[in-house]
């Protein structure tokens, strides 16, 4: 079966086989350092939640408090919803799609796709959540696991 890259898909996209492998690898690294988590955070996205589940199961710590927060979601591509990369490139041009997607995170234009968010907005949203919800726990010495997509980080 051919792999279709749903560049603009968002909440319901499951973790890929490679994503499961990466989550297990991350769990192995954490386990090798004997880190015990006090609580965990994830976004409202299925693939981030799946990542958290894989890690918590591997560490045998499914009982820790976990919280899902939409503020930690990757950015929204708005009206482009579930468009494929090919469809978006055909409609808007490859250069524009690259600007919106910001694959390399360098020189990314602060322009949102139609109805969507900029990387800056996404970053500010996640930073605000971190400052209000997570930071004080870290400063209090708690070990916090955060499983989210790369955009908000």
**150 is known to lie in a ligand binding site:** no
- For residue 47, say whether it is annotated as part of any ligand binding site: yes
Cα 103 to Cα 91: distance, rounded to the nearest angstrom: 19
The 3-class SS string of the chain reads CCCCCCCCCCCCCCCCHHHHHHHHHHHHHHHHCCCCCCEEEECCCHHHHHHHHHHHHHCCCCCCCEEECHHHCCCCCHHHCCCCHHHHHHHHCHHHHHHHHCCCCCCCCCCCCCCCCCHHHHHHHHHHHHHHHHHHHHHCCCCEEEECCCCCC
62 in Cβ contact with 145 (< 8 Å): no
Summarize the annotated binding site as residue ranges.
Answer: 47, 85
Binding-site sequence positions for substrate: 47, 85
């Amino acid at each position: 079966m051919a792999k279709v890259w749903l560049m603009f898909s968002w909440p319901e996209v499951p973790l890929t086989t490679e994503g499961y492998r990466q989550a297990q690898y991350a769990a192995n690294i954490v386990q090798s350092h004997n880190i015990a988590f006090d609580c965990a955070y994830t976004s409202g996205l299925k693939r981030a939640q799946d990542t958290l589940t894989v890690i918590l199961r591997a560490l045998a710590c499914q009982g820790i408090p976990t919280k899902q927060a939409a503020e930690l979601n990757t950015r929204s591509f708005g009206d482009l919803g579930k468009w494929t990369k090919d469809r978006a490139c055909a409609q808007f041009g490859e250069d524009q799609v690259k600007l919106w997607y910001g694959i390399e995170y360098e020189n990314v234009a602060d322009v949102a796709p139609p109805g969507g968010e900029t990387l800056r907005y996404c970053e500010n949203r996640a930073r605000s959540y971190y400052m209000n919800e997570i930071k004080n726990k870290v400063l209090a010495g708690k070990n916090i696991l955060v499983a989210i997509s790369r955009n908000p980080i």
